[in-house]
Amino acid sequence: MKNHKAVTTIAAWCLYDWASSSFAIIVTTFIFATYFTTKVASNHIVGTYQWANATALAGIIIAIISPMFGAIADRGGHHKRWLFFFSWICIISATLLWFSYPNQRSVYFTLTFVVIGTIGSEVALVFYNTFLMVLAPKPYMGRISGWGWGCGYLGGIFALLITLLVFVKNNVFSLDTHTAAQIRICGPFVGLWYAIFSLPLFFLVPDISTTSRPLLQAIRAGWIELISTLKKIPQEKNIFLFLLAHMIYTDGLNTLFAFGGIYAAGTYGLSFEEVLIFGITMNITAGIGAISFAWIDDYFSSKSTVIISLICLIIFGIPILFLHEKYIFWGVALVLCLFVGPVQSASRSLMAHLISDKQISTELFGLYSLSGRITAFMGPWLLGLMTVLFNSQRVGMATIMVFFVLGMILLLPVRVFDSQKV
């Protein structure tokens, strides 16, 4: 890692994570999700239902098209062009949210561009992840993946803090509050943030394509290759088991982040402001964990890092189900979040280590994206069901531990046949 050019390209790659995470944090999680349900929709119940349906629709489309576009890129080349294309779909969609006015006439306009932006952001990550295999020397792959995840968490939170302090809370530029301009400006801000901080990747990181075909030929070849890969995946025991394990424990992680604030408010009585601060500190801690523990990935193995982190999530997750003191809960929850980032970053590097044929790497990262979304409904559904059946949020949250345990068990037999220890 002493090569200056290599360091520069890796830094540019990590900076893309810093750029792209602003959409997920500001639009789909904190600012615009709340704005839509409280100001745009007819009421917060209907708004929550509409937002959930839009998110589910985006997830289904992403799950379907990610492997397809990955296969097309592997056969047709031009990975960086595809990354640019889907990035700018998200950037333009975010910018157009400026026209999401606080009335019911804006409902479908808002949902349309949230869905399109989410698709652009997530499919772009399929191509982005593939660059890890080319840019990162194997002895550094875990660390570089961790640095990228950490930059994503911290960049998203930094962008969120700017929007809160400059626009939402203080309205520094005296924007028209009657039309919620101080909220709507967050859309163009995300677009600008994403565009600026993604530029280094497009200028400094070389493309990874080794082939180049006309688009129609690439689509045909990609479809044929994807169908062939899907048929072979069940026989590829290690990749198949990993994707299955990843599907399950990622469902647990997504449910944890989706319902962590709800659980904190309902069980421990956190106010709205405290829940917002809690969510921010959760993301910061996860980012610190991804960066700080990334070295374990390289010194031991990606698989070991995921397993150790899942064990720690279970160890620190169980007390959260029984604690009663608010601030003790907060402290334990933040320690727990230290191990969220390592699970995510090490999973990405483990996928890279498992791919033996780089000619289909983007396609396989598309399946990796699919595995993180195909059962995304299961965690929230099971949590909600148990909460209602036992009339207890604590019982509902306990279901997340089941996902972590099952995912870890499925991961145990996975073998990595490269330089990594297993």
- Can you give the CATH number for the domain in which 329 is found? 1.20.1250.20
Q: Does any domain span residue 52? A: yes
pTM over 0.75: yes
Structural domain includes residue 417: no
Is 420 within a domain?
A: no
In a domain, 293, yes or no: yes
Residue 422 falls inside a structural domain: no
Question: Is residue 419 in a domain?
Answer: no
If one compares 420 and 26, the residue with the highest pLDDT of the two is 26
In a domain, 70, yes or no: yes
Residue 35's domain comprises: 4-411
Instruction: Give the pLDDT confidence score for residue 167 in this predicted structure.
Output: 93
Q: What is the pLDDT of residues 114-138, one digit of tens each?
A: 999 999 999 999 999 989 988 888 8
* Residue pLDDT, tens place only, 249-290: 999 998 888 788 778 888 888 886 787 888 889 889 999 999
What whole-number distance in Å separates Cα of residue 310 and Cα of residue 253?
10
What is d(CA 116, CA 388) in angstroms, rounded to the nearest whole number?
A: 33
Cα(73)–Cα(375) distance, rounded to whole angstroms?
Answer: 25
Average pLDDT over the chain, rounded to an integer: 88
Q: Specify the pLDDT at position 140.
A: 87
Is residue 12 in a domain? yes
294-327 tens-digit pLDDT: 888 888 889 999 999 999 999 999 999 999 999 9
Structural domain count, the chain:
1
